[in-house]
A and B are shown apart, each in its own frame.
Chain A
Amino acid sequence: MTAIDLAIELGSALTSNKVRTGLTVLGIVIGIGSVIAMVSIGQGGAKSIESSIQGLGSNLLTVSPGALSNARGGVSTGRGMAPLSIDDASAIAGIAGVAAVSPELNRRFQMTSSLGNNTNSNVIGVESGYLTARSLAIDAGTFITSQHNAAFSRVAVLGPTTVKDLFGDADPIGKTIRINRMDFRVIGTTVAKGSSGFFNPDDTAFVPLETMQRILVGADVVSTIAVSVADKTQMADVKAQVTELLASRHRVDPAAPDFSIFSQEDVLGTLNQVTNTFTMFLGSVAGISLVVGGIGIMNMMLMTITERTREIGLRRAIGAKQWQISLQFLAESVALTLLGGILGILLGWLLSLLVTTFAGINTSVTASSVVLGVGMSSSIGIIFGFYPARRAGKLHPIDALRYE
Chain B
Amino acid sequence: MIDCQSIRKIYASQAGPTEALKGITFSIGTGEFVAIMGQSGSGKSTLMHILGCLDVATSGTYTLDGQDVTEMNENELAQIRSTRIGFVFQAFYLLPRATVLRNVMLPLMYAGVPRQQREPRARAALEKAALPEKFYNYSPNQISGGMMQRVAIARALANDPVMILADEPTGNLDSKTGQMVLETFQSLHRQHGRTIVLITHESDVAAYAARIVRLKDGEIIEDRKTI
Contact = CB atoms under 8 A, between A and B. Distances in A.
A319 B98 contact: no
Nearest to B111: A319
A395 to B, nearest CB: 11
Contacts of A13: 97
Contacts of A314: 89, 93, 95
Nearest to A319: B82
A5 B118 CA distance: 12
Interface in B49-107: 49, 52, 54-55, 74-75, 78-79, 81-83, 86-87, 89, 93, 95, 97-98, 106-107
B90 to A, nearest CB: 10
A394 to B, nearest CB: 9
Contact of A12 (B75, B82, B93, B98): B98
Nearest to A1: B109
A13 B49 CA distance: 28
Interface stretch (A74-82, A188-196, A270-278, A320-328): A320-328
A310 interface: yes
A318 B97 contact: no
A200 to B, nearest CB: 64
Interface in A2-33: 2, 4-5, 12-13, 16
B155 interface: yes
A177 to B, nearest CB: 81
Interface residues of A, number: 24
Given A12-B97, A310-B93, A314-B93, A319 B54 contact: no
Contacts of B110: 1, 315, 318-321, 324
Contacts, number: 63
Contact of B97 (A5, A16, A321, A401): A16
B112 interface: yes
Interface residues of B, number: 27
Interface string B137-167: 0000000000000000001000100000000
A317 interface: yes
A5 B110 CA distance: 10
Contacts of A2: 115
A340 interface: no
Interface in A300-319: 310-311, 313-319
Interface string B108-132: 0111100100000000000000000
B82 A318 contact: yes
B125 to A, nearest CB: 13
Q: Top 4 A-B pairs ranked by shortest CB distance?
A: A319-B82, A319-B110, A314-B93, A318-B107
7 contacts: A1-B109, A12-B97, A316-B81, A318-B87, A319-B107, A319-B111, A319-B159
